[in-house]
Amino acid sequence: MSLTIGIDVGGTKIAGGVLDKDGTLLEEHRVRSPASDPQEVERAIVDLVDILRADRDIAAVGVGVAGYVDKARSVVMFTANMAVRDLDLRADLEKLLDLPVVVENDANAAAWGEFAFGAGADVDDFLLITIGTGVGAGIVLDGHLHRGAFGVAGEVGHMRVVPDGRPCGCGNRGCLEQYTSGTALVREARAAIAAGDARGSTVLDRAGGDLSQVTGPLFTQAARDGDAFAIEQLATLGRWLGEGIAALTAVLDPAVAVVGGGVSAAGDLLLEPAREAFADALIGRGHRPMLEIRPAILGNRAGIVGAADLARR
């Protein structure tokens, strides 16, 4: 049996799993991410791989990292949530593990996982958008992962949608993730409640009266339970998402757009407003095929599955 290991490296955790050729995860583990020390991040990856490959014949390791990875799938050039800069992670890990290693951006790895074994398995042109703390994306065109000339394609969260709009952590203003991320959802909900919007009182009650405890998962659950204020806030986020997908469709023309990430747990409360806004904003609507907007299938395992499969390929 051909087995590979996929590792998903983030700012708070490092998760890994053993994947067979059919896309089945045979074992999973996770550890805390020592994000402030690049060498400790490498050591944590090695320790996790050692646990996963015990008594198994592993062919290769794929590592998805939340950051910019060069065209050679080797050097992690920059990460926002870890102290990693210009680190040749592949070279270091291959030396430490004595195995072939592929390094990939985490959203690209997740996109490949959903394309190969998830919600995009029936198409060749595919877009994954992840809605979580920020907004990420991965692109598959003609059955191949699209990485761009320098390896950093897919940063759609920093596509500017509102000139001189809300300030973004990247240094620009009006980026998409300032309007359609989990962070944006919580920020706007808290602001409305703090400003005295009475419709938000039930959400605040769920948080024990503590505004700081109004979180994305709490808010999403409130919407799923029928709370009108939460449903409206999610719909606003969904409309921004739909407009963003329409803009990307004008450039990429995918057959399917899959939405993943934590906020996607809201299901059609997020996706139906996105579909409606997409249809309204799409160039040439009524005279061209319409892509399908679907929920992701693999959830937070997509990055592990995608990284492992990319290593096999």
| pLDDT above 90: residue 175 | yes
Full domain range(s) for residue 34: 3-113+301-312
| pLDDT above 70: residue 1 | no
Residue among 296, 287, 244 nearest 126 (CA): 296
8-state DSSP, 84: -
Mark whether 24 and 97 lie in a shared domain.
yes
Q: Report, as an integer, the average pLDDT of 14-18.
A: 97
Mark whether 138 and 285 lie in a shared domain.
yes
Mark whether 96 and 218 lie in a shared domain.
no
pLDDT range class, residue 251, cuts 50, 70, 90: very high
> What pLDDT sits at residue 226?
95
Mark whether 189 and 86 lie in a shared domain.
no
Q: What single-letter amino acid sits at 257?
A: A
CA–CA separation, 87 and 152 (whole Å): 15
Lowest-confidence pick of 169-173, 229-233, 252-256, 302-306: 169-173
| pLDDT above 80: residue 19 | yes
Q: How many domains does the chain have?
A: 2
Backbone φ and ψ for 20, nearest 5 degrees, come out as: -95, 180
Per the DSSP assignment, residues forming a β-bridge with 106 are none
Q: Classify each residue of 47-85 as buried b or exposed e, where b means 16 or more C-beta atoms within 10 Å of its C-beta.
A: ebbeebbeeeebbbbbbbbbbbbbeebbbbeebeebebe
Mark whether 101 and 135 lie in a shared domain.
no
| pLDDT above 60: residue 289 | yes
pLDDT range class, residue 284, cuts 50, 70, 90: confident
Mark whether 308 and 221 lie in a shared domain.
no
Percent of the chain with pLDDT over 90: 84
Lowest-confidence pick of 110-119, 162-171, 231-240, 247-256: 162-171
Residue among 159, 120, 162 nearest 143 (CA): 120
Q: Find where tokens 């096999």 sit.
A: 312
Dihedral sign from CA coordinates of 247, 248, 254, 257: negative
Q: Are strands 25-32 and 58-65 parallel, antiparallel or unpaired?
A: unpaired
Angle between helices 228-252 and 216-224 (to 10 degrees): 110
pLDDT range class, residue 273, cuts 50, 70, 90: very high
Residue 288's CATH number: 3.30.420.40
> What pLDDT sits at residue 283?
86
> What pLDDT sits at residue 83?
84
| pLDDT above 90: residue 140 | yes
Mark whether 140 and 195 lie in a shared domain.
yes
Mark whether 97 and 156 lie in a shared domain.
no
Per the DSSP assignment, residues forming a β-bridge with 14 are 9, 31
Mark whether 224 and 75 lie in a shared domain.
no
Q: Report, as an integer, the average pLDDT of 116-131.
A: 96
CA–CA separation, 9 and 153 (whole Å): 19
Mark whether 9 and 106 lie in a shared domain.
yes
**pLDDT of 59-83, one tens digit each?**
999 999 988 999 999 999 998 778 8
> What pLDDT sits at residue 132?
86
Mark whether 280 and 136 lie in a shared domain.
yes
Determine contact, residues 145/124, Cβ cutoff 8 Å.
no
Mark whether 184 and 277 lie in a shared domain.
yes
Q: Find where tokens 């050692």 sit.
A: 50
CA–CA separation, 255 and 214 (whole Å): 36
3-state secondary structure (DSSP) of residue 205: helix
H or E element, residue 88:
strand 85-88
Q: Are strands 126-131 and 135-141 parallel, antiparallel or unpaired?
A: antiparallel
CA–CA separation, 224 and 52 (whole Å): 37
pLDDT range class, residue 133, cuts 50, 70, 90: confident
Percent of the chain with pLDDT over 70: 100
| Cβ within 8 Å of residue 296, ≥6 positions away | 114, 118, 119, 128, 130, 258, 259, 260, 261, 264, 302
